[in-house]
Amino acid sequence: MTDESTGDKTMTPDEAVAGLRSGMTLGIGGWGSRRKPMALVRALLRSEITDLTVISYGGPDVGLLAAAGRIRKLVAAFTTLDSIPLEPHFRAARERGGFELTEIDEAMFMWGLHAAANRLPFMPVRAGLGSDVMRVNPELRTVTSPYPNDAGVREEFVAVPALRMDAAFVHLNRADRLGNGQYLGPDPYFDDLFCEAADTAYISCEQVVETAELTKDAPPQSLLVSRHSVTGVVEAPNGAHFTSCAPDYDRDEPFQKLYATTPWPEFAERFLSGASEHDYQTAVQAWHKEQQQ
Amino acid sequence: MITRAEYCVVACAEAWRDNGEVLAAAMAPVSSFGARLAKRSFAPELLLTDGEAMLVGLDGSVEGWLPYRRHLTMVTGGRRHVMMGASQIDRHGNQNISCIGDWERPARQLLGVRGAPVNTLNNPVSYWVPKHSPRVFVEKVDMISGVGYDHAVGPYHRIPRVVSDLGVFDFETPDRTMRLASLHPGVTVDEVRAATGFELAVPDEVPYTREPTAAELRLIREVIDPKGVRDREVRA
């Protein structure tokens, strides 16, 4: 049993971001506008870090970083706000040629994560062939099966390159100080793979609890992320806001709508110009109060 | 009086007839209603999702766990028939949901290819297009997301049908190009041709899309879509 006094990985969002540098490859967990590590993304926006290669099942994490001009290259299969199908800041950035895009299929993405997590250079997938994914990503290679199928054919597959990352951000419901992370919602998304595919991984969570507390009321298979794949643990209540973090909270739909319809400089000034995550949360509360009046 | 939307629900439902124990996946209201109609009537063995991470029965009770990573296995394992949307689709069944215009610098960025490339090479993919127009039914799609018959590779590619607000289409021609399979009652061949941006294969005799049975109509109106969402997606 690890001595918790020596294994404590807790840190602030800004301390997590201090482990990153411009030009790095950053993986961001969650899916669309669900359980995105938004507190960590906001900390990134408060830093000077730019020129990032971002790997994400894209949601507002991509939109925010694109609007702020922090992305050099995006690796994604889609970018969406779920209830608002098209992410406006991602769209605007694409339409003005704001970053380079490596557009791959969802399954190619998943197997790229598996490859990276398993220290494999690639994984074969029956996806991408015949589509324009191959045209717009001419660096993609194919492999021929060494084994003939029942029809005697050696099928050709796309060799999805490993999506290895310098760092990964994910948001979970709970974690202990050592870096064991737990999801309590219905879908793990691919957060464990993001952590295993990255050289360093920072997990934010709604609540840091004692290790024994994790499995007191929840089954062991809810322990999604293990500490050996985690560099830092950030307690960030409401840290996925405005995306959902089931079962702790749903997506903040009115606020997401505000995000999607407000000119970027105005939104950034009001909600993202503060010095801390606390300032953001306070600004959001003030906005909600205004709406009730 | 049967509405156009109700014909569309029936035409979508028919896509899953005799599919066996597979996931009937759909995104838009009318195609989802079609999946539920199929399961409630002639294909009770179909699996449905709650749109999140669960396999659910008709009453919403959970019968399985289907997070994204397992959903992708259902795709590549072939135990799924999805009815996707299409921002553009061409005569060979190539579909685009990624962007309009030049990919390098799109005039309109859309969703991205999502799972269309993996879907189309691994499990049957049908399409539902609620507004049939030359902007959707195009000569050539700007970005092949879902793969059509002229680009398909591997043993599992299949596009059983395309359903629009005007009719049902398949690829049952010698060269696997889109063919008018049935007209929804009230629609003419000329209307379909005018709304299609490529030369469509049209047989000499085009049947009408079948009528819903009385039982199906009751299911659609009273059980599956009592609020009439279908008539807001398809107005005619």
pLDDT digits (tens, 9 = 90+) for B74-111: 999 999 999 999 999 999 999 999 999 999 999 999 99
Measured distance CA(A174)–CA(A184) in Å, rounded: 8
The pLDDT, as a whole number, for residue A194 is 98
Nearest CB among B107, B118, B153 relative to A105 is that of: B118
Does B137 reside within a domain? yes
Put simply, the answer to whether B118 touches A130 (Cβ < 8 Å) is no
Report the C-alpha gap between A42 and A280 in whole angstroms: 9
Asked, for residue B68, whether it belongs to a domain, the answer is yes
Of A231, A230, A229, A249, the C-alpha closest to A240 is: A249
CATH 3.30.2140.20 fits A13-107+163-253, yes or no: no
Contact between chains at B146 and A131 (C-beta distance less than 8 A): yes
Within 8 A of B154 by CB-CB distance, chain A residues are 126, 129, 155
Asked if the structure places residue B118 within a domain, the reply is: yes
**B236 within domain boundaries:** no
Tens digit of each residue's pLDDT (9 = 90 or more) over B17-40: 999 999 999 999 999 999 999 999
Chain A residue numbers with beta carbons less than 8 Å from the beta carbon of B114 are 77-78, 105-106
Phi, psi of B82, deg, nearest 5: -100, 145
Query: Minimal Cα–Cα distance from A198 to chain B, Å?
Result: 19
Task: Report CA-CA distances (Å) from B52 to A57, A149, B12, B48, B159.
Answer: 15, 34, 21, 11, 25
Shortest Cα–Cα distance, B113 to chain A (Å): 6
Residue A168 in tokens? 């990964």
**pLDDT tens digits, residue range B180-230?**
999 999 999 999 999 999 999 999 999 999 999 999 999 999 999 999 999
Q: Which two tokens stand for residue B54?
A: 């669960």
Tens of pLDDT along chain A (293 residues) come to 445 457 999 999 999 999 999 999 999 999 999 999 999 999 999 999 999 999 999 999 999 999 999 999 999 999 999 999 999 999 999 999 999 999 999 999 999 999 999 999 999 999 999 999 999 999 999 999 999 999 999 999 999 999 999 999 999 999 999 999 999 999 999 999 999 999 999 999 999 999 999 999 999 999 999 999 999 999 999 999 999 999 999 999 999 999 999 999 999 999 999 999 999 999 999 999 999 98
State percent of chain B over pLDDT 90: 99
Helix, strand and coil content of chain A, in percent to the nearest 5, comes to: 35, 25, 40
Of B115, B147, B151, the CB nearest to A107: B115
Residue B182 lies in a domain: yes
User: Considering only CB atoms, which chain A residues are within 8 Å of B65?
Assistant: 186
**Token pair belonging to A8:** 């404590």
Question: Encoding tokens for residue A251?
Answer: 């997506």
Mean pLDDT of chain B: 97
- Taking contacts as CB-CB distances below 8 angstroms, the residues of chain A near B118 are 105-108, 125-128
Between CA A222 and CA A214 the distance in angstroms is 9
Q: Kindly report the CATH number assigned to the domain that includes residue B185.
A: 3.40.1080.10
Q: Could you tell me if B83 and B25 are in contact, meaning their C-beta atoms sit under 8 angstroms apart?
A: yes
Q: Are A84 and A133 in contact (CB under 8 A)?
A: no
Q: What is the pTM of this model?
A: 0.96
H/E run at residue A66: helix A60-67
C-beta of residue B82 within 8 angstroms of C-beta of residue B26 = yes
What is the spatial distance between Cα B161 and Cα B41, in angstroms, rounded to a whole number?
Answer: 20
Which structural domain range is residue B190 located in?
4-231
The answer to whether A100 contacts chain B (CB < 8 Å) is no
Q: Rounded to the nearest 5 degrees, what angle is found at the Cα of B10, between the Cα atoms of B122 and B85?
A: 45
B104 contacts A131? CB cut-off 8 A: no
For residue A129, give the nearest of A137, A121, A120 by alpha carbon: A137
pLDDT of res. A293: 86
Start-end of CATH 3.40.1080.10 domains in chain A = 13-107+163-253
Q: What pLDDT score does B236 carry? A: 78
The span from the CA of B97 to the CA of B168, in Å, is 20
Chain B, nearest residue to A98 by Cα: B105
What is each CA distance from B55 to A25, B58, B219, in whole angstroms? 35, 10, 21
pLDDT at residue A5, rounded to an integer: 55
The predicted structure's pLDDT at residue A179 = 98
Global ipTM: 0.96
Residues B122, A127: C-beta atoms closer than 8 Å = yes
Q: Is B197 on the interface with A (CB under 8 A)?
A: no
Cβ distance B118 to A103 less than 8 Å, yes or no, reads no
Q: How far apart are CA B55 and CA A75, in angstroms?
A: 30
Which residues does residue B23 pair with via DSSP β-bridges, in sequence order? B47, B80
Considering its fold, how many domains does chain B have in total?
1
